[in-house]
């Protein structure tokens, strides 16, 4: 049996059904599932948290390993709905960094065997990701990829706000012209 749908198109009841019966789906993929919880636009915050918590009842051990495999997804999911201060965020990344080291030593994996992992090192001393091990292609490897996207989103929002304002002003001038 296959899911036949992308994870980030599922609704809440489909998530629960698929997680519960995950062994029956040939195309089930735990990382894909967890990533989609952040990305799926059909879900509101509360539902994201419910799906995450339900997935944790089965896949929590696998999820913990994502601190190494995909720290961005791990961070986003563990801090869902929390209002983090900069200091909180820093603390969360510090814990991820420590847990990465634990995972590596528990598995007796020597760093040199992790060819496709590298440590984040952007050159900014106060960067919260400093020393975080990143697998290539999973975000964070490019310097501040998500800060960059956040900024872009912010700019796009402001831009559309400005355009609306400009349009309003334009119409106002036209109306004023008609009135006179
Ligand atoms: Zn950095």
Q: What is the pLDDT of residues 17-73, one digit of tens each?
A: 999 999 999 999 999 999 999 999 999 999 999 999 999 999 999 999 999 889 999
Mean pLDDT (the chain) is 80
Within this chain, do residues 92 and 40 fall inside the same structural domain, yes or no? yes
Phi and psi torsions of 119, nearest 5°: -90, 135
Distance 50 CA to ligand 1 centre (A): 31
Within this chain, do residues 111 and 61 fall inside the same structural domain, yes or no? yes
| pLDDT band per the 50, 70, 90 thresholds, residue 180 | very low
2 belongs to a structural domain: no
Within this chain, do residues 68 and 150 fall inside the same structural domain, yes or no? no
Distance 90 CA to ligand 1 centre (A): 12
* Domain membership of residue 48 as a residue range: 7-143
Phi and psi torsions of 43, nearest 5°: -105, 135
Within this chain, do residues 175 and 126 fall inside the same structural domain, yes or no? no
Within this chain, do residues 51 and 133 fall inside the same structural domain, yes or no? yes
18 belongs to a structural domain: yes
Within this chain, do residues 37 and 124 fall inside the same structural domain, yes or no? yes
1 belongs to a structural domain: no
Distinct helix (H) and strand (E) counts, the chain: 6, 2
Within this chain, do residues 99 and 62 fall inside the same structural domain, yes or no? yes
72 belongs to a structural domain: yes
Within this chain, do residues 13 and 90 fall inside the same structural domain, yes or no? yes
Within this chain, do residues 17 and 88 fall inside the same structural domain, yes or no? yes
Bridge partners (DSSP) of residue 176 are: none
Distance 96 CA to ligand 1 centre (A): 15
SS3 of the chain: helix, strand, coil, percent, to 5: 65, 5, 30
156 belongs to a structural domain: yes
Within this chain, do residues 139 and 175 fall inside the same structural domain, yes or no? no
Give the chain's domain count: 2
Distance 123 CA to ligand 1 centre (A): 7
């Amino acid at each position: 049996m296959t899911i036949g749908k992308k994870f980030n198109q599922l609704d809440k009841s489909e998530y629960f059904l698929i997680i519960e019966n995950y062994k029956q789906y040939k195309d089930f993929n735990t990382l894909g599932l967890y990533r989609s919880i952040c990305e799926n636009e059909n879900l509101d915050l509360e539902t994201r948290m419910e799906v995450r918590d339900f997935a944790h009842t089965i896949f929590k051990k696998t999820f913990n390993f994502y601190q190494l495999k995909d720290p961005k997804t791990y961070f986003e999911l563990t801090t869902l709905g929390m209002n983090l201060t900069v200091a909180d965020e820093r603390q969360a990344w510090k814990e991820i960094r420590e847990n990465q080291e634990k995972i590596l030593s528990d598995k007796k994996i020597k760093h040199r065997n992790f060819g496709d992992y590298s440590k984040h090192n952007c050159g900014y001393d106060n960067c919260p990701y400093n020393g975080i091990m990143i697998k290539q292609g999973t975000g964070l490897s490019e310097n501040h990829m998500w800060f960059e996207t956040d900024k872009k989103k912010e700019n796009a929002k402001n831009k559309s706000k400005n355009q609306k304002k400009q349009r309003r002003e334009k119409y106002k001038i036209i109306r004023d012209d008609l009135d006179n």
